[in-house]
Amino acid sequence: MAIELVPLCSVHAQLKPPIEVGAGPSGTRLIIEVASARLKGERLAGEMVGTAGGDWVLVGPDGTGTLDVRVAFRTDDGAVVFVQYNGRADVSQGINLPLTVYVAPRFETCDERYLWLNRVQAIGKGTVHEDFSLDYEWYEAR
Amino acid sequence: MAIELVPLCSVHAQLKPPIEVGAGPSGTRLIIEVASARLKGERLAGEMVGTAGGDWVLVGPDGTGTLDVRVAFRTDDGAVVFVQYNGRADVSQGINLPLTVYVAPRFETCDERYLWLNRVQAIGKGTVHEDFSLDYEWYEAR
Amino acid sequence: MAIELVPLCSVHAQLKPPIEVGAGPSGTRLIIEVASARLKGERLAGEMVGTAGGDWVLVGPDGTGTLDVRVAFRTDDGAVVFVQYNGRADVSQGINLPLTVYVAPRFETCDERYLWLNRVQAIGKGTVHEDFSLDYEWYEAR
Amino acid sequence: MAIELVPLCSVHAQLKPPIEVGAGPSGTRLIIEVASARLKGERLAGEMVGTAGGDWVLVGPDGTGTLDVRVAFRTDDGAVVFVQYNGRADVSQGINLPLTVYVAPRFETCDERYLWLNRVQAIGKGTVHEDFSLDYEWYEAR
């Protein structure tokens, strides 16, 4: 039952400066909108569609960052794929860039060619850089 | 223990044409981005901020529409308020406009003047019109 | 577009003493399991089924309580109905019983006789009493 | 930025027969309650507490199973740890046991000795056996 990580795609995104909702009922909320994002891989490649891509991050009083991301993509061969995930980051020393983040993407599509993607639980690791660009590697857990 | 509905605000929004993710793991997903939105009321008035406002709607095989909305606002007096809600619509006869929707908004802010808003469970009723504009009345349950 | 509240049912539940997860990434988590629950109304009446009914409450640093409830019921005429909701409570003065809570239930069932329930966004008001019993009135927003 | 999987714990659980909510607004819902569960590892070991542990599974019309799990544990050294996760399973050929599932657990605790756990995004693979027992291996993504 050993788990195998099969490469799915790399992700390169440009984030916008956060909208600071601040300390509320579930911790400190930042809305980090995605300006652009590209998926690059042999099995999955595409570009963000629309403008409602973002990370509705929560920073807890205990120094844990919880990612809460929704982004839609159009693959290079024309399928619409919605990606949604939570994840964690250690911000116990503050939100200092570059920051390492860990995420667990799930996918939704109706395109026959990508139905396999609906059944994938992915895991990824990424870095948010000083210029608010973001790089990930995503893997399929198998 | 009778419930009282205290007017909170009206909402007027302009929606964009849906991004159709289609029939996936949780039903048929449409992403309906919000182009602009305005809250208007004595206790709460403001304008949408950012571009990551939207409704990640699901249409179930049983003819139920489930709203899943996230939008951030800046009030006219400068507070950032994040609004998030689910809701329901009857689409058993198809998604025909005008469409009546029922929603249950909750709010998050760190602004001292609006902390009362964090504790409100709101309920609202609205109409999505043929031109993809949207009108709501939201009430505080008390 | 005035909203109308149509009585749906009253709820009487007995809660167990909380499991205290404590201050974590999203605030202070309490798990309040439901020992028993009964829905009573002309259109909806039934009894909790199973043991996995509970409220995974979060208490925020700002004094807001956020309810996060899941309970399954069997109606008196044999339909299984799953109820799930968020809600709010003002705990800025601490969690003092009796406590008033506001909730926004949504329902899921496959039973033909209750498909109308899937399309209902409900709103409710309740009281958690000193003996950890709970009384609600739930209404259909129409 | 290569991802490393560091063993976290194995999980052995006994599930109850499902409560079938059936085909509703988000797909076909099964509530699979957890009768007992044990975490076993050098860094994390403990036993399920309470009765409100379960998986509120959805089976989509596309043959994708989506796990939605909440369980609380008490570690052998006395900390309360709440675990919550989504995950995926391929049920396009029906729900046939044994079934392989992939999950992405996140943790919440206030115990000083386990604050590191709050910042972990885990990934796991498991098997649901014919007797409704369940075995997982969980790893920390690092």
- For the segment D117-139, what is each residue's pLDDT rounded down to a tens digit? 999 999 999 999 999 999 999 99
Is A24 close to C66, i.e. CB distance below 8 A?
no
Helix, strand, coil percent values for chain D (each to nearest 5):
5, 60, 35
How many Å lie between the alpha carbon of A98 and the closest alpha carbon of chain B? Answer: 24
Is D106 close to A141, i.e. CB distance below 8 A?
no
What pLDDT band is residue A42 in, cutting at 50, 70 and 90? Answer: very high
Q: Is B137 on the interface with C (CB under 8 A)?
A: yes
Report the C-alpha gap between D120 and D8 in whole angstroms.
Answer: 10
- Are the CB atoms for A67 and A101 separated by under 8 Å? yes
- Would the pTM of this model clear 0.90, i.e. be above it? yes
Model pLDDT, residue D14: 98
Report the C-alpha gap between A129 and B119 in whole angstroms.
Answer: 36
pLDDT for A2 beyond 80? yes
Return the residue of C nearest to D22 by Cα: C110
List the 83-112 stretch of A: residues with Cβ below 8 A of D.
Answer: 86-90, 92, 102-104, 106, 110
Residues of chain D in contact with residue A88, where contact means CB-CB under 8 angstroms, are: 106, 118-121
User: How large a percentage of chain A has pLDDT more than 90?
Assistant: 98
**DSSP bridge partners of C10:** C40, C137
Model pLDDT, residue D113: 98
| Nearest residue, CB atoms, B118 vs list A16, A25, A81 | A25
What pLDDT band is residue B31 in, cutting at 50, 70 and 90? Answer: very high
pLDDT for A1 beyond 90? no
What pLDDT band is residue D1 in, cutting at 50, 70 and 90? Answer: low
**DSSP bridge partners of C49:** none
D46-66 pLDDT per residue, tens = 999 999 999 999 999 899 999
Residues D29-53: what's their mean pLDDT?
Answer: 98
Cα dihedral sign for D103, D108, D109, D114?
positive
User: How large a percentage of chain C has pLDDT more than 70?
Assistant: 99
pLDDT for C17 beyond 70? yes
Q: Please, what is the average pLDDT of chain A? A: 97
Residues D1-23: what's their mean pLDDT?
Answer: 96
How many contacts (CB atoms, under 8 Å) link B and C? Answer: 96
Is B31 close to A51, i.e. CB distance below 8 A?
no
Return the residue of B nearest to A118 by Cα: B25
B67-123 pLDDT per residue, tens = 999 999 999 999 999 999 999 999 999 999 999 999 999 999 999 999 999 999 999
- Are the CB atoms for D99 and D63 separated by under 8 Å? no
What pLDDT band is residue A115 in, cutting at 50, 70 and 90? Answer: very high
What pLDDT band is residue B1 in, cutting at 50, 70 and 90? Answer: low
How many Å lie between the alpha carbon of C140 and the closest alpha carbon of chain D? Answer: 17
* C-beta neighbour count of B4 within 10 angstroms: 10
Q: Is B72 on the interface with A (CB under 8 A)?
A: yes
Amino acid at B121: Q
Residues C75-101: what's their mean pLDDT?
Answer: 97
How many Å lie between the alpha carbon of A60 and the closest alpha carbon of chain D? Answer: 10
Is A27 close to C23, i.e. CB distance below 8 A?
no
Is C86 close to B106, i.e. CB distance below 8 A?
yes
Report the C-alpha gap between D16 and D81 in whole angstroms.
Answer: 22
Q: Is C31 on the interface with D (CB under 8 A)?
A: yes
Q: Is A10 on the interface with D (CB under 8 A)?
A: no
Residues of chain A in contact with residue C27, where contact means CB-CB under 8 angstroms, are: 25-27, 60-61
The beta strands (E) that lie in B25-90 are given as 27-40, 46-48, 54-59, 64-75, 80-90
